[in-house]
Each structure stands twice: as structure tokens, then as C-alpha cells.
Chain A
Amino acid sequence: MVDQNAHPPSVGTSFQRADLRDKVLGIAKYTADLSLPDMLHARVLRSPHPHANILSIDVQPALNMVGVYDVLTPFNVGGGKVAPDVPILDTKVRFVGDEIAVIAAVNVYEADAAIDLIKVSYEVLPFSTNMDTSMKKGNPKIHSQGNVVNGGPIVEARGNVEEGFDQADYIVEDSFTTPDHHPASLEPRAALASWDGTRLTMWKPSRGIHADKAILASALDVDPNNITVIGPVMGGGYGSKDETRTSVLAALLSMRTGRPVKLELSREEEFLAGRRRHSTFTKIKMGVKKDGTVTAVHVKTIMDTGAYLSSGPGVVRRAGQGALYLYRCPNVKYEGQIVYTNTPTAGSYRALGAPQGHFALESLSDQVADKLNIDPLKFRLMNHVGPEGQPGERTTPKNQIIDTQPVEGGIPFSSNELRQCLILGADAIGWERRDQIQTPTGSIRRGIGMSMFIYRGGPGGQSNAKMSLDEDGFFTLNVGFMDVGEGSSTVVLQMAADTLGVLPQMVRLNSGNTDNTPQSPMTAGSTLTFSAGQAAVRAANQLAQIVIESASEVIGLTDTEGLYITPEGVCSTSGDEVNFTDLVKKSGLLKTTVSVTPGSKDYIVNSFGAHFAEIEVDIETGYVKVIKYVAAHDSGKIINPRMAESQVRGGISQMMGFTFLEDMEIDDLSGVTLNASFLEHKSPTIMEYPEIEVIFADSIDPVGPFGAKSLGETPCIAPAPTIANALYHATGVRLNHLPFTPDNVLTALRKLR
């Protein structure tokens, strides 16, 4: 019915992203740019101690200041909770920087001065800045349940890993660590709250306005129907902005003072009160036969979640998926444990645990290849999981949607072009000249390395969309998800427009306000293009049907035969036509609502890729230069090539920081974070950005909308092991501890001199 050939499709073209112009011109309004009449400014008193009980707080001198309107302390905020282990404010502080009290004043200077006047009496407790100390018996509990979350690891297994090792000719094992890695978003957290006596309106950087609304309602004991959450444009989130204490505190101050309140964190506060990537310790063991067959993989990972749990369970699970599923193997086991420490909280950060897990897995895989005297690429070509999936029996009931992180075997992938990625990437980097480029003498050593990955392919939670043809002849797609900067609002709009058969310029996307959008899950797990895309496509299909039927009535036809949608309106093969504006005038607003549960009951939907790098390392200075980087991805059909390519380039450059530079430096003697600044937490600059070639495998996923799969997080998974393997090829020395700063590289290379 819809004539797909009426005009060139938008899907597959680099349609300009919706928010580009305003951001480039500097007129896009971020949360901190907003202000309201009579607005108060809030500042937070933070703990100087890594671990202490708060005995009493004297706020009177602060309240006596003329410009001060209110102060929140653990003793006056009620018993609400922001998260299961995070009260609104607590009488116990768990890291240097933990929130103690909040001042609302006429401006930030008065608020800062008032903060200095608050007197707190502490019972200082012994503390732990690392997992070893936390796990020692008898050490003080950071939370009442103990320092190991849930008392032990999660365990996931397929087959029998002991039997698998018994069958092995060689067993290779090693251990790896990864650092605390901060997203260091350009925009620090901010919240603007306005309470009018019955209704709360909250502006905040958000990756899930509907989820935020539920948390605000529960923490503040306010009817969710009386809460509006608005998400302005996001100044960088990468998953980390799911923290809600900041907004709960602003809301409470507004409710108590009756005035709008804005709380904006400083750069240092963003580092402390934000969310970092979990540092990890991983022990990994792989068994292989002489012919190169993998017989068993066993991984144990321990993660430092800092003071609070945040999204830790999701992160620790995701860290294990590579070990469970990337190599074809009947016997695998993953144990993932989360430990509290008195340090800033870890949480969601682009690709969650996958980069940490793949760093260990893909470094070890190279070692196994070395042991077998097989080329590392060949070892992967022999053993990577294929389209048929893993050996074993399906245990998920036939009528259930398959998890995107399965453990069981016996289920095929909807699409799996990992092999294509390996071959295309190897060709682009020039893998065949690998042995010739090595420089065994001199200070500059050259090498080529690679690694591969597997990740969730896009099915997420139940996704809703409303779509309408409006009075002005334009369409509106109403969705409750947040574009956190990755461009989902643009690609979803492209898919909806093509499904309807109209130009994308004809479709408005409405999102970012809980009042007029349908429920939607958080922007997480690289799910939006796939899941929101499925909802949008279904809504557009239904609306197209409605539009055609209405047009048929308006034109006066007996049926819809021969009618099709054009960019201007509806035409029939016999020459009748009605434009969209006239159609709406005559038939009234046309609209539809859909709800989809994304995913497949028959297939695992996963994305794949392989990365390659050629590097030079100066063994006398520890400086590593990336000469060329190749990223080959299977993300199904690419909806918007320019944005997709940018997504890959951005992810790789972000992980150049994880690989070479970034770590949160926490003083062991005081628990103080020493480098909470852009200068000292060394995020990469354009100077660290290598030449990158991005390759998208020829892949159409039969389940995904327009054949698409996930891409948002996947570029972040392979960079660290790719560089580690290139370093090994260049020097013969394996580096197991990130980041590869000059001091770490020089220490590791000491054996060369």
C-alpha cells in the first residue's frame, strides 16, 4: 500500500541530526542554562572523611545568614530513598565527597559562604579504598549487608568447565586489571526543580525521564501524576547520568521553600558525585586442544563499585558475556563479584563491563594463540562463535523472547557477520605484512594487534510510540525515550518517515517531557535504534493504514485500492489526490498508539566487531603512537552512515583514554580523589586521536527494524585489548594493567633492557 519507491529512502543516508544546528551555534539550552523567577541556588556540603558516622550538625550559623533560605541535613529529609542503598541524605558518609547537607540561598556565593558555616560532628570510621581491604574479614562494613554485594559472586555456566579443562592439551591463565575510568562529560550534573504547591516540575540531564519520575515520586512520596520530568539536551552522559540524588535534593529544597531551586555541580563534584567505570580484577583461564579447539573458558571478575551499588549488577553481568559467548565452546563459567569501597561510586559507563571483560578475554586469547603457535587472527577465525550459536540445548521456553545475553547453547543468531568483520578488518590494516613490519632492535618498535567482541544487539524493554498526522499537515512521532547525544531521535525519525513514505523533514519528534510522551525504558544497553525503532516502524505502519483509509473516505472511494502516500499527501493510481493538510481538515486528527516488546523468540540478537591497530612504541620513553586503527562492525543495516561512523570514532577516541591515560587517582591514606579535574584526569584530546578506518559489514538483521542492530556502545569494547595485543606484537611483552601510561609501559618493558 505504501509506495516505497515514491522518493529516495532516508534510511541509509546521512540525514542531518536534529539537534546539530542549535548545538553548533551554541543556542541549545542545557539544564544549567535554565533559570526561573525567584530561583534559589543550592550548594552541597560534602564529606571530608571517607567513612564516618554523622553525630550532629549545627546549621544555625548558616541559617542566620540573610541570603540563606533552607538547609537539608540527614536529620530533616525524611526516610525516602533514592536507590536501595542510597537514602536522600544519610547519617553515614561513605566516601570523600559524599553528600552531607545542602544549602539553598539567593546565589551561589551566599550558598558557598553558608556551607563554610555548617559545623558537623563526626565519628570517624576505619575505611577501605581498595577491594582487598574491603574483603578482609573483620573490616568495617560500608553497608550493613557487608562489603561483598549479596555475599558472593553471580555464577553463570554452560556445560562443565572442569571436564572442559580435563580435555585440554594446554591451559593458559593470567590476571588483568582495569582502572577507574570517568566519563568526564563536558556538562556536569544539574537539576532545576519547581514546586507549585501540588506539582513538581524537574529539569535535569536524563537518560530516562520516565524512570527519573518514578524515582522522584518514590523518594519524595509525591503522586507520580503530580510530577513532570523534562530532559533538556544532554551535554554528555554515556550512561552515567542515571544518578538521581542531585535532583531529589533540588526537588526537596523547592518543596520546602516554595521557590524554584537549581543545583549545579562543579567540575570536581561531577568527578566525585558522578559515576565512573568500575575498576576490575579478572582471573581468566582458557583450555585448548593442540588443534586449536577451545575446550573451556573460566573467568572470575571482581569489581569495585565504590560507595554505592548503582547499576553494578548489570555491569558485572555484562563483563562476563564475552567469556560465555564469544568463543565456540561447550564448557564455560563466569563468576562476577561486586565489592564496596570508600571511593566515588561506579555505575553505568558506555558498554558497561564489556570493555573490562574483553580486555582480559582478548588479551588471553592472544596468549593462547601464542602457546599454540597459531596466528592470533587465525585462532579467532577458527574459534569465534558462528551464526549457528553455541553448542548445547536451548532452555528458554519456545514462546519466550531470547535474552540478549544468553548462557545456554542451541540458539542461532538472527545475524552474525563477525567473520566478515575479521576478514575485512584484517585486509584494511594489512594483516598479511604483520611479520614484516616488526622492528626487533632500536628504540622504536612496531606491531599490529587485533581483538574481537560480542555485545547485546538492541532488544530492550517494552517500547511505546504514538504517531499522528497533525492539522498543519506534518506528522508527530511521540516517544518517551531520551536522545543522550548518540542521535537516536534522528535515526528513529528516519525509519518512521520511510515507513510512512514521507520525507523525514515532515516528521516531528516529540520527546523529553513525561507529560506528553508514552512510557519508555531508559536509554541503556544500546537498545534505542532497535527497540524504539521497532515501535516507531509499527506506529508508522499503522498510521499509514489509517491515513490511506481516511483518504479513501475523503476522496470518496469505496476501498483503498490503488492509494499510496507521497511526500505531499495521498494519491491514487487513477489520479485522485488529497494533500495532508486537507486530509486532516476533513477527517480530523489521525493518530495511533503502539506498544512493542522488542526481540525474537527464535534468535539471539547480538552485534559483533573486530578491531585492528598498528602501533609504534618507544621502548625508552614508554610513548605509544597509534599509526592506524581499523574498526569493523556488524551492526546490521546502517540507518545513518555519517552518524554511525562518528559513533565508532567517538567510542574509539574515548577508549584511547581508558587505554592510555585515564584513572581516578585516590589517595590511599585519606580517601581523597586527587585528580578530579579535566587537567589531571587525562581525557584524550585530538592529539591522541589516531587515523581510524570504519568498516560496516554487509549485514541485514531479519529481526531489527530496517535490518538494524545496536551500535551505541559497541565501539568501546575492543580498543584496549587491540592495543595490548599490538604492544605484545611490537615488544614481546604483555601488559596486563591498564592504563598504558609511560610509567606503566616503562615498568613493564624493564625486562627488555
Chain B
Amino acid sequence: MKPFTFYKPTELEGASKLLNGVGRGHFLAGGTDLMTEMKQGVIEPELLISASDIKDMFGIVWNNSGLTIGSMVTLDEIASDTNIGSRIKSLAEAAISIATPQIRNIATLGGNLCQRPRCWYYRNVRFNCLKKGGEKCFAIGGSNKYNAILGGADSCYIVHPSDSATVLVALKAKVDIFRNFQRVTIPIRDFFIGPEVAVTRENILEPGDILISVQIPKESMDGKNVFLKAKERQSMDFAIASVAAMVKMENGLITGVGIAAGGVAPTPWHLTSTEQKLIGYCVEDIDVQAISAEAFADAKILSQNGYKLQLVQTYLERALNLVLR
């Protein structure tokens, strides 16, 4: 790890200026991912700007329109919040499924959403892959059992590592971003971008932009929501496939739906066409098995990741059966 300068601003403005100023600056939240990247030499920031004293980025606030969670709220705070546990079960389940208790104590929601991919070619300094500005994706012809089956776009086959992102896309959440000294709010599904848009990053944040908070609309809490995650190791592991599903029903009719898959694509994979096959229909008329089988029709399998297709189909089927029951 290389030496760096450490800043601890108290206002979003100051932080943004530092991030957009001279020298390679990185925003520091919990640091559980950033420090790993620095220790492995994947990034070498000259300055670190800590978010720990910026009040706008903290707090779990309920109001009439729903819930706002500051991006500096830790995963443990989300996992152990009884209101979140009872009203947004999928988010609590995602939080508790991440990493280990020690990491959840300091890792934040914002950090979880903005963490860098786990693809081992990206993480290893010996490969200058596309994501690092290099010429090729080494996963395509290499060891790719954890890589994407969707959205790789013949370029970069990372999977987005965030479990909370998968859930928040299904919950139709919005994110508040500090951009050009103003607060802007956008749907979270537009926050994440695939390699066809920009290969060296996973979201829309530009230098100086700050993810302030996440809003979950009240309507998304009215129905049932679940998060199912397949992992190889039952602690300290990322999703090899996951599904988040939210369904709201009135008199047997599906009036609201949100579905996303994780661990299978460079972004949290929003299953819009599957949602279309559910919204407005009667529960009795839904053929879960057929819908799940069709959901990933455009999957492109690499040499070692074909099992992910079966896994994610199975998880979608199980998630839908849970929320439609």
C-alpha cells in the first residue's frame, strides 16, 4: 500500500471539491473494499476523503412516502433494524447475507452499492483487463465460473457484487446524488451502468459526485418481498446467483411487481419483461415455472458458468412462489 493524504470534510460541498480536485482522490466510507483494493495495489489513491463526518449521509428516516437510508448507514444497522426487518424483509435478508459480522459492522450501504467487482482478473495486478483500461477481458477465455451470463456485451463479464443493489432495484428504490453542488434524485436502476455504456466503472458517478442516500417508496413495502442468494460458502461469500422479488396484490390481482437478479450480470439485472408477465394478472393464471424458464432467454454462457443459468432460474422460481403464495 502506498502512502496517501487523509481528509475528513464535514460538508458535501467540501468533499465534492476534494474529490474533483488535484490528485487521485477516493471517497472512503467503511473502507472494507477500498482498503483491499489499495493493499492489493489495484488502486493507488493519493488522497482519501472520509465520509465519516458528513451528517447528510447518515440516518434511517421513515416518512409518509417511505424510507430514506443514508449511504453511511452500516449493513449491520440495516440488518438489525426491526422496522426494516418487518417491513422490508428482503433488504434485511440481503444485509445479513453479506460478508461477516465484523465487516457488516463497518461496511456501509453506500459502499456496498459502489464496491468494485470481484472478478479475479480485475482484482489481480498482473492482468490489465478492460475494466482497468486494458485491451481485453481475460475471463472470456479463462477461469470464468463466477462471471456474467447476461449483459457482458462481448466486452466485460464481471458480475455486480452488491446484494443490496439487487434488492433495491426490485424495490424500485431511488438514489439521492450530490452533483454539481445540487441534490438530484434518480431511480436506482439508472444508477448502475453496464460495460456497453462505460467499461471502467459500474455506476453513473462522475468525479465529484457523492451518493448521499437511498429512498425506498412506501408502495414497495405494501406487498411481499424476498431475497434469495446462492453462495458457495455460507459466510464470507458473494452471490453466485441471487433473486430479489417484490409483489403487491389486491383481490388476487397483481398490482405491483419488482424483480431483479444478482450475481449474473455486470449490473443488478432488472427483469422487466418478467415483471410485464405478472403485472395486472391474476395469481391463479401465473405459470411460475414457464415464466422463470423464459426469464433468462438471452443468457450467453461462457465455458465454465453454465450452472449459473440453472441456479438463477431455480431461484427466480422459488422467489416467485414465495411472493405469490
Q: How many interface contacts (CB-CB < 8 Å) are there between A and B? A: 72
- Give the residue of B142, B233, B235, B304 whose beta carbon is less than 8 angstroms from that of A743: B304
Is B232 an interface residue when CB atoms closer than 8 A count as contact?
yes
Contacts of A24 in B (CB 8 A): none
Q: DSSP class of B's interface residues: helix, strand, loop or mixed?
A: loop
Is B311 within 8 A of A674, CB to CB? no
In whole Å, how far is B273's beta carbon from the nearest beta carbon of chain A? 23
Q: Convert B304-318 into 0s and 1s, putting 1 for each residue whose CB lies closer than 8 angstroms to a CB of A.
A: 110110110011000
Asked whether, in the complex, the Cβ of A741 is within 8 Å of the Cβ of B232, the reply is yes
Q: How far is the CA of A669 from the CA of B40 in the complex (A)?
A: 21
CB of A746 within 8 Å of the partner chain? yes
Bitwise interface map of A from 584 to 622 toward B, beta carbon under 8 Å scored 1, else 0: 000000000000000000000000000000000000111
Chain B residues whose C-beta falls within 8 Å of the C-beta of A48 in the assembled complex: 126
Contacts of A96 in B (CB 8 A): 126
Given A109-B3, A621-B314, A665-B120, check contact A742 B141 (CB 8 Å): no
Do residues A687 and B142 form an inter-chain contact, with CB atoms below 8 A?
no
Verify B143–A674 contact, CB threshold 8 A: yes
Q: Is B192 part of the binding interface, using a Cβ–Cβ cutoff of 8 Å? A: no
Q: 6 closest pairs, A vs B, by CB?
A: A687-B234, A674-B120, A743-B307, A685-B235, A746-B307, A620-B314
For the complex formed, measure the closest distance between the CB of A651 and the CB atoms of chain B, giving whole angstroms: 19
The answer to whether A685 and B236 touch (CB under 8 A), given A48-B126, A672-B127, is yes
A680 to B40, CA, bound (A): 14
| Beta-carbon contact of A679 and B236 below 8 Å | yes
Verify if B178 is at the interface (C-beta below 8 Å from A): no
Quick one: CB contact mask for B126-148 with A, threshold 8 Å, 1 for yes? Answer: 11000000000010011101000
What is A's interface to B at a CB cutoff of 8 Å? 48, 96, 109, 268, 620-623, 660-661, 665, 667-670, 672, 674-675, 678-680, 682, 684-688, 741-743, 746-747
Q: How far is A672 from B122 in the complex, measured between Cα atoms in Å?
A: 13
- Residues on A with C-beta less than 8 A from B307 are 622, 742-743, 746-747
Can you show 16 pairs from A to B with CB atoms below 8 A apart?
Answer: A109-B3, A620-B314, A621-B314, A621-B315, A661-B233, A668-B142, A668-B143, A674-B143, A675-B120, A680-B118, A682-B232, A684-B233, A685-B234, A687-B234, A743-B305, A743-B307
In the bound complex, residues from chain A placing their C-beta under 8 Å from that of B48 are none
On chain B, the residues within 8 Å of A686 by CB distance are 235
Cβ contacts under 8 Å, B52 to chain A = none
B residues in contact with A674, CB < 8 Å: 120-121, 124, 143
In the bound complex, what is the Cα–Cα distance between A682 and B240 (angstroms)? 13
Q: Is B237 positioned at the interface, with any CB of A under 8 Å from its CB? A: yes
Residues of A within 8 A of B145 (CB): 743
Instruction: Name the distance in Å between B158's Cβ and chain A's nearest Cβ.
Output: 14
Distance from A188 Cβ to chain B, minimum over Cβ atoms (Å): 13
Give the distance to chain A from B289, nearest Cβ to Cβ, in Å: 12
Which residue of chain B lies nearest to A618 when distances are taken between CB atoms in the complex?
B314
For B311, the closest partner residue in chain A by CB is A621
B232 contacts A742, C-beta separation under 8 Å: yes
B285-325 vs A: 1/0 string, CB under 8 Å?
00000000000000000001101101100110000000000
- Nearest residue in B to A673 (C-beta to C-beta)? B124
A96 to B143, CA, bound (A): 16
Which residues of the other chain, A, contact B124 by a CB distance below 8 angstroms?
Answer: 672, 674
Least Cβ–Cβ distance between B115 and chain A, in angstroms: 13
B40, B118, B126: residue with the most chain A Cβ atoms closer than 10 Å: B126
- Shortest distance in angstroms between B196's beta carbon and chain A's nearest beta carbon? 25
- Residues of A near B233 (CB, < 8 A) are 661, 682, 684-685, 687-688
Is B156 an interface residue, CB under 8 A from the partner? no
Give CA–CA (A743, B315) in the complex, Å. 15
B141 contacts which chain A residues (CB < 8 A)? 669
Residues of B with C-beta under 8 A to A665: 120, 143
Q: Is B230 an interface residue (CB 8 A)?
A: yes
- Does the CB pair B234–A670 fall under 8 Å? no
Q: Which A residues are CB-close (under 8 A) to B121?
A: 674
The residue in chain B whose Cβ has the minimal distance to the Cβ of A676 is: B124
A interface secondary structure, majority = loop
List residues of chain B with CB under 8 Å of any chain A CB: 3, 40, 118, 120-121, 124, 126-127, 138, 141-143, 145, 230, 232-237, 240, 304-305, 307-308, 310-311, 314-315
Chain A hits for B310, CB < 8 A: 620, 746
Q: In the complex the two chains form, is B311's CB within 8 Å of A667's CB?
A: no
B145, B233, B235, B308 — which one has the most chain A CB atoms within 10 A of its CB?
B233
Which residues from chain A contact B40 at a C-beta distance below 8 Å? 268
Per the bound structure, the CA–CA distance linking A268 and B158 in Å amounts to: 22
Shortest beta-carbon distance from B72 to chain A in Å:
24
Known: A96-B126, A667-B138. A746 touches B234 (CB 8 A): no
**B308 / chain A contacts, CB cutoff of 8 Å:** 743
In-complex Cβ contact of A661 among B120, B142, B232, B240 (8 A): B232
Instruction: Check B138 against A669 for contact (C-beta < 8 Å).
Output: yes
CB pair B142–A682 under 8 Å, yes or no, is no
Could you tell me the distance between the alpha carbons of A594 and B314 in the complex, rounded to whole angstroms? 66
Q: Which residue of B lies closest to A48 (CB)?
A: B126
Taking CB atoms, residues of chain A closer than 8 Å to B237 are 682
Q: Tell me, in angstroms, the Cα distance from A688 to B233 when the chains sit together.
A: 7
Cα A670 to Cα B141 in complex, Å, equals 11
State A47–B222 Cα separation when bound (angstroms): 58
Q: Contacting A621 at CB < 8 Å: which of B138, B142, B230, B305? A: B230
Q: Give the docked Cα–Cα distance between A742 and B237 (Å).
A: 13
Q: Which residues of A contact B311 (CB under 8 A)?
A: 621-622, 742, 746
Besides A623-B230, A688-B234, A742-B232, 13 more A-B contacts (Cβ < 8 Å) are A96-B126, A268-B40, A621-B230, A622-B311, A670-B127, A672-B126, A674-B143, A684-B233, A742-B311, A743-B145, A743-B304, A743-B305, A747-B307
Hey, which chain B residues are within 8 Å of A680, CB to CB?
118, 120
A688 and B127 alpha carbons, distance in the complex (Å): 32
Check if A667 sits within 8 Å of B143, measured CB to CB: yes
Rounded to whole Å, the gap between the CB of A344 and the closest CB of chain B is: 14
Task: Report A480 CB to chain B, min CB distance, Å.
Answer: 38
Task: Give min CB distance, A654 to chain B, whole Å.
Answer: 14
Q: In the complex, A620→B307 CA distance in Å?
A: 10
- B142:A669 contact, CB within 8 angstroms: yes
- Assembly CA distance A686 to B127 (angstroms): 33
Q: How far is the CB of B93 from chain A (nearest CB, A)?
A: 16
CA distance A40 to B143 in the complex (A): 39
Instruction: Find the B residue at minimum CB distance from A747.
Output: B307
Nearest-neighbor residue (CB-CB) of B40 within chain A: A268
A753 and chain B: residue at smallest CB distance: B310
Q: B residues within 8 A CB of A660?
A: 232
Question: What are the residues of chain A within 8 A of B143 when measuring CB–CB?
Answer: 665, 667-668, 674
Q: Roughly how many angstroms separate A747 CA and B315 CA in the complex, as a whole number? A: 17
Report Cα–Cα, A742/B124, bound state, in Å: 25
Q: Which of A620, A622, A674, A678 has the most CB of B within 10 A?
A: A674
Contacts of B236 in A (CB 8 A): 678-679, 685
- CB B288 to nearest CB in A, in angstroms, measures 14
Complex alpha-carbon distance, A576 and B290, angstroms: 93
Within the complex, the shortest CB–CB distance from B208 to chain A, in Å, comes to: 30
A588 to chain B, nearest CB (A): 56
Point out the residues of chain A lying under 8 angstroms from B142, CB to CB: 667-669
Nearest-Cβ distance from residue A737 to partner chain B, whole angstroms: 13
Q: Which residues of A contact B235 (CB under 8 A)?
A: 685-687
Q: Roughly how many angstroms separate A622 CA and B124 CA in the complex, as a whole number? A: 29
Q: Given A621-B230, A665-B120, A682-B232, does the pair A742, B240 have CB atoms closer than 8 Å? A: yes
Please give me the residue from chain B that is nearest to A684 by CB atom.
B233
User: Could you tell me the distance between the alpha carbons of A670 and B126 in the complex, rounded to whole angstroms?
Assistant: 9
> With A and B bound together, what is the CA distance between A621 and B240 in angstroms?
11
- Chain B residues with CB under 8 A of A675: 120
- Report the minimum CB–CB distance from B184 to chain A (whole Å): 35
List A contacts of B234 (CB < 8 A).
Answer: 685, 687-688
Q: How far is the CB of A612 from chain B (nearest CB, A)?
A: 22
Q: For the complex, what is the distance from the CA of A96 to the CA of B126, rounded to whole Å?
A: 10
B270 CB to closest chain A CB (Å) equals 23
CA distance A575 to B118 in the complex (A): 76
In the bound complex, how far is the Cα of B303 from the Cα of A668, in angstroms?
13
Q: In the assembly, what is the distance between CA of A678 and CA of B305, in Å?
A: 22
